Chains A and B, each alone.
Chain A
Amino acid sequence: MANVSRLAGVFVVVLALVLVVAAAMPLLASSGGDANPRPQNPASFQPGNIIPEDLEQNGSISIDASGEERVVLIDQAHDNDFDREDIEPMVDALIAQGYEVRFHGGSGPGGGARPAGPGSSSPLNESLRSADAFVVISPERRFSDAAQRGLVDFADRGGRVALLGEPTSSTSSVISIFGPAPGPDVTSQMTPLSSRFDMSLSTGYLFNMFENGNNFQNVYASASGDGPLTEDVDRVLFDRATNVNVGGDATVALSATDRTALSATREQEEYSVAAVNGNVALVGDTSFLTPENHNYADNEVFISNLAEFLVTGQKEPKPEPDARRPGAPPGARQPRPPAAGQPPTNDTTPPTTPAAP
């Protein structure tokens, strides 16, 4: 009898143990691991679907010019928005070919434009007398009327002028300490000058959502017609360019590819990025000159053509002024002759002997 009760006790204890374990299992399982720990592999996470196109960078700037002695003057007197390292590839190529590169104005000795009084020649015009070509990059200060007239005269006499500008509307590409911040609006000071040559810049930027250099603001432009800037150029990649408007005798040199739009209107039209009018070229971008961008697509070919354009002009000497300039008030000072020493430039590269062609 005792055995029977013991056996019953064992039965009850074992059964209770099993049922307790069974009852506890769901409670224990609910605090366990993920019910669906399967790894995921969405298509949008596959590198082959999302890695952008690798933009090739190759080639170098090659200037094929006569090798005659030429002086290229680069403006720094109008709050120009560039650093010297930004244009180093073209400057280096010019110097390597024996051409002289000077900078007008800037923060060095003799830098900065002085106000030109009535009848006086502007400092720029004095610098231009000894130059064969003049480059203006993103001026944020207006050229004086005298300087503008001087540049028109410079170009009329065969001097070559390259005007390079950027969009002036606010941009989100300014990198702040934390994130993109709207940049300040800067009023373009290029158009008052370029309009004297029947060309102007738009204020917005060009973008292309369909075909671009891995960013919608990196637009391609292709050669339009035969001109001094487009020889052997297929496509040029511009980082945030603007539209170039042409009129009169100016002709388009580079046109943005199809479906490019302008930020101001969002309209897809035909937009120009570079144009030429005689001895003057206008490009709606400056960043293609930088060491980082100078050899994307055919950028280096375009820069080579631009450099050749600058050093192949045939500038005629300025005719000697009459005893008194027409229209000048009696007693007004005559334009000063070139200074005995250097013109008011600074940081000039040493004059060099042009390399043998």
Chain B
Amino acid sequence: MSAENGANGTAAWLYVAVAVAAVLIGVFLAPQVMSLTQGASQDTPDSVAVVPIEGPITSSTADQISANLREVRRNESIEAVVLDVDSPGGTVPASEALYLAVNRTKAAGIPVVASVNGVGASGAYWAMMPASRIYVTPGSIVGSVGVIGSQPAGGPGGNQIVTGPDKGPGGTQEEFRDRVELLRQQFVTTVMNNRGDRLDLSREELSYAKVYAGAVAQRNGVADEIGGTDAALQRAAENADLENYAVTRMDPPEQPGLGIVLGSQDTRASNDSRTQRVVVESSPFDYNGVETPHYLALYGTPEREGVSDDG
């Protein structure tokens, strides 16, 4: 009986010893296996990601673009990023969130290059500030370093009762002015900190909030190089020390199903030359049915209301 027990104990120890040996060997082999699966999970070992920044920058689009950049940082096969920009900007909070997302990507050691195809103005220009180089085409538009603030009419209306004099508009006109000035300072300081050594413009000149054609912007330092997205890709790959690379194009942000019109447009003409109708659909920056203050880093003047002067 005792001899049988001894044999069983020896067998148990043997099993344990074999299992431990298997674990040790497994740990030894694990890195090789991990690298195999890591490689299998990647499209290519080295690639440059193209992250589109298109259309008005809202909290929704900024979230989508930030998610793309987060994916860039996670995916070890992506070695560099090109921001493919065609946007007039958008709200200040969304623009600065996008700036932070780009900044974080650069801080992660991933080279970031921007390529403007069309418009890269105001909030979109703000977002591309961390990029090491900004590529523009001669006819693209960049700049507009400034902020637009708009405030609904103050005071309660109709049968509203508010609990404080500033509950509706959020503050006095003077406080509103100072808030807009703070945002201007933030925007201008961001540009000066990132590109001050390359700009031929002073803070005050920058604060005019002009836009520049790409050919001019390349000369005054608002942009760096003339070239398209391919040139930007090449630069990004060089910055990442890539000789052979694949290009991974991320999905552009989806605009939330709204007719977005920046600026007026005539959609109908009649025999009466004085008759015109300007229809502007829902704004991407607004809440339904609520007038709120807006702080926009936007090139252009947004319109919201349907305007008709045909009568």
Whether, in the assembled complex, B73 has its beta carbon less than 8 Å from a beta carbon of chain A, the answer is yes
Cβ of A35 and Cβ of B73 under 8 Å apart? yes
User: What is the 8 Å Cβ interface bit string for chain B, positions 95-113, against chain A (1 contact, 0 not)?
Assistant: 0100010011001100000
Q: With A and B bound together, what is the CA distance between A32 and B76 in angstroms?
A: 13
Given A36-B73, A179-B301, also A15-B22 (CB < 8 A): yes
8 A-B pairs whose Cβ atoms sit less than 8 Å apart in the complex: A50-B185, A52-B181, A55-B178, A178-B294, A178-B302, A180-B301, A214-B177, A292-B174
Number of B interface residues, CB 8 Å?
A: 64
Q: With A and B bound together, what is the CA distance between A178 and B38 in angstroms?
A: 50
* B 241-270 contacts with A by CB, 8 A: none
Cβ of B22 and Cβ of A18 under 8 Å apart? yes
Whether, in the assembled complex, A11 has its beta carbon less than 8 Å from a beta carbon of chain B, the answer is yes
Residues of B near A19 (CB, < 8 A) are: 26, 29-30, 33
Whether, in the assembled complex, A34 has its beta carbon less than 8 Å from a beta carbon of chain B, the answer is yes
Q: Which residue of A lies closest to B191 (CB)?
A: A44
Cβ of B41 and Cβ of A40 under 8 Å apart? no
Given A14-B22, A15-B26, also A177-B34 (CB < 8 A): no
Cβ of A177 and Cβ of B174 under 8 Å apart? no
**Interface-forming stretch among B13-21, B46-54, B115-123, B133-141?**
B13-21
Cβ of A178 and Cβ of B34 under 8 Å apart? no
User: 7 tightest A-B contacts by CB?
Assistant: A18-B26, A22-B30, A14-B22, A179-B150, A44-B190, A209-B204, A36-B108
Q: How many contacting A-B pairs (Cβ < 8 A)?
A: 152
**Contact among B34, B70, B73 with A23 in the assembled complex (CB-CB below 8 Å):** B34
Whether, in the assembled complex, A176 has its beta carbon less than 8 Å from a beta carbon of chain B, the answer is yes
Whether, in the assembled complex, B215 has its beta carbon less than 8 Å from a beta carbon of chain A, the answer is no
Cβ of B186 and Cβ of A50 under 8 Å apart? yes
Whether, in the assembled complex, A348 has its beta carbon less than 8 Å from a beta carbon of chain B, the answer is no
Residues of B near A329 (CB, < 8 A) are: none
Given A11-B22, A210-B204, also A26-B41 (CB < 8 A): yes
Q: Which residue of A lies closest to B73 (CB)?
A: A35
Cβ of B108 and Cβ of A35 under 8 Å apart? yes
Cβ of A40 and Cβ of B26 under 8 Å apart? no
Residues of B near A3 (CB, < 8 A) are: 11, 14
Q: With A and B bound together, what is the CA distance between A63 and B293 in angstroms?
A: 39
**Contact among A35, A36, A42, A52 with B193 in the assembled complex (CB-CB below 8 Å):** A42
Whether, in the assembled complex, A355 has its beta carbon less than 8 Å from a beta carbon of chain B, the answer is no
Which residue among A11, A35, A45, A182 has the maximum number of chain B CB atoms within 10 Å of its CB? A35
Range of interface residues on A (Cβ < 8 Å) = 35 or more
A residues near B (Cβ < 8 Å) are 3, 6-8, 10-15, 17-19, 22-27, 30, 32, 34-36, 38, 40, 42-45, 49-52, 55, 172, 175-182, 209-210, 214-216, 218, 292
Q: With A and B bound together, what is the CA distance between A8 and B177 in angstroms?
A: 79
Whether, in the assembled complex, B207 has its beta carbon less than 8 Å from a beta carbon of chain A, the answer is yes
User: What is the 8 Å Cβ interface bit string for chain B, positions 46-83, against chain A (1 contact, 0 not)?
Assistant: 00000000000000000000000010011100000000
* B 186-233 contacts with A by CB, 8 A: 186-187, 189-190, 193, 204-205, 207-208
**Contact among B33, B96, B174, B283 with A178 in the assembled complex (CB-CB below 8 Å):** B283
Cβ of B207 and Cβ of A209 under 8 Å apart? yes
Residues of A near B304 (CB, < 8 A) are: 177-178
Given A34-B74, A176-B150, also A40-B107 (CB < 8 A): yes
A288 to chain B, nearest CB (A): 13
Cβ of A35 and Cβ of B286 under 8 Å apart? no
**Contact among A13, A14, A15, A209 with B208 in the assembled complex (CB-CB below 8 Å):** A209
Q: With A and B bound together, what is the CA distance between A229 and B150 in angstroms?
A: 35
Q: With A and B bound together, what is the CA distance between A45 and B92 in angstroms?
A: 13
Q: With A and B bound together, what is the CA distance between A150 and B173 in angstroms?
A: 39
Q: With A and B bound together, what is the CA distance between A52 and B303 in angstroms?
A: 29
Q: With A and B bound together, what is the CA distance between A59 and B103 in angstroms?
A: 46
Cβ of A22 and Cβ of B26 under 8 Å apart? yes
Cβ of B177 and Cβ of A25 under 8 Å apart? no
Cβ of A11 and Cβ of B21 under 8 Å apart? yes
Q: With A and B bound together, what is the CA distance between A27 and B22 in angstroms?
A: 23
Residues of A near B14 (CB, < 8 A) are: 3, 7
Residues of B near A292 (CB, < 8 A) are: 172-174
